[in-house]
Every structure is written in C-alpha cells, then in structure tokens.
Amino acid sequence: MTQKPYYRDIWCLGAGTGYPGAFPRGLVEKVLQRWNGEKKLMLFSGSFHEKGWETVDIKPENNPTYVLNAEQLPKDWTEKYDLVFADPPYSEQEAKSLYDLPYFNIVKVVNEMARVTRAGGHMIFLHRLIPQNFPGDTSHFKRMKLSGIVGVFTIAGYSNIRALTVWRKMEVLP
Ligand SMILES: C[S@@+](CC[C@H](N)C(=O)[O-])C[C@H]1O[C@@H](n2cnc3c(N)ncnc32)[C@H](O)[C@@H]1O
C-alpha cells in the first residue's frame, strides 16, 4: 500500500526542566504551531501544567486535572478532545526506575487516545515506537490517518532520539 505524503522532520531542542522524562524545552510550543485544537488533553502529564490543557497522570502528587490510568479513560470522553498528546515512559525499566510504576499497555493507551479524539482532531504520541496496525485496533484507531513523524532529540548527555507520531482522525473508516 502506498502511504500519502506526511510531514517529516527532525527537531533538536533544549534539555528538559528537571522532572524525570520531562519534555525538551520548546517541544509543545513547536507542536502547537503545526497541530493545535481548542480542547486539549495531555496524558502522562508529569510536571506539565499549561493553560488551555486538561491533564491526566496516575500520580496524584503531579497535580493533574484527573488522576487516572491512561489505559482506561472515562466512557463519556468519547470524541471529546481536538488534540490528545501522550508522553509515556519508554520502557519497563524506565517506568520502574523513574516512576516506580508498571509499564503501561501501549495497545490500550493508543486505542483510548483514538477514542477520545474528535473527528478532524489530532492525536500525538511521543515514544521510541511508532504504533501502526496492531491486532486489537479499535474502529476509532482505524480512523486515524498518519499526518506526521518527527524525530526529537536534545543536545545533552546521551540523549534518546524519540519519535513524535501524529495522526488526524477521519470522519469515517477509510
Ligand atoms: C515521561 S513522564 C512525562 C513527563 C512530562 N511530559 C513532563 O514534561 O513532565 C511519564 C509520566 O507518566 C506517568 N504514568 C506512568 N504510567 C501511567 C499510566 N498508566 N497512566 C497515567 N500516567 C502514567 C508517570 O507518573 C509520569 O509522570
């Protein structure tokens, strides 16, 4: 199958703020210049608190808008958000050593992100993996059309290179 062209780039950004696994400086601003929306949801929010965003983290001490496991979002959030962003831990070892948490289930999270994204809205996933075509994809995830892949790294120590994968939700199944 030939994939229609999608945005591709590599962004080098400033180091994060100090919270383990924090966003590189300037990342969210750069994302919003290209993919924005009125109602915005940040999953795995950690130290991220910005006006105009609702946030979800499993740890109450991070003071998110909602203390929830991102694997199972509320049923009445279906098609509620224009922009849904997730910055989860990148491995089982990181989840344990940085947050003392079990590693999340990627299939469950990606499907939940797709469910709570509105038709015409965008979903953005920052990880070393680029999720595509899981067995178990829901009809919501099947409506997601790839609209960008951006490599992200910082000039600091031994920086991870990660991928920001962006999809737009179609009105109906292709
Ligand atoms: C990579 S950090 C996010 C950092 C954030 N981008 C920032 O700039 O501070 C991952 C976060 O995911 C949270 N987390 C881990 N597993 C989770 C889960 N299943 N559901 C919700 N939050 C989870 C952790 O508490 C941690 O704050």
- Ligand 1, pocket-test mutation among 31, 45, 67, 91, most atoms within 8 A of CB: 45
At 65-75, the pLDDT tens digits run 999 999 999 99
Nearest CA to ligand 1 atom 17: 58
With contact defined as beta carbons under 8 Å apart, do 73 and 56 qualify?
yes
The mean pLDDT of 9-17, rounded to a whole number, is: 89
Domain ranges of the chain: 7-169
CATH 1.10.45 fits 7-169, yes or no: no
User: Ligand 1 atom closest to Cα of 57?
Assistant: 22
Q: What percent of the chain has pLDDT over 90?
A: 83
At 18-69, the pLDDT tens digits run 899 899 999 999 999 999 999 999 999 999 999 999 999 999 999 999 999 9
Ligand 1 pocket, residue 63 CB under 6 Å: no
With contact defined as beta carbons under 8 Å apart, do 122 and 35 qualify?
yes
Ligand 1 pocket, residue 87 CB under 6 Å: yes
3-state SS of the chain: helix, strand, coil percent to 5?
A: 20, 30, 45
- 1 pLDDT exceeds 70? no
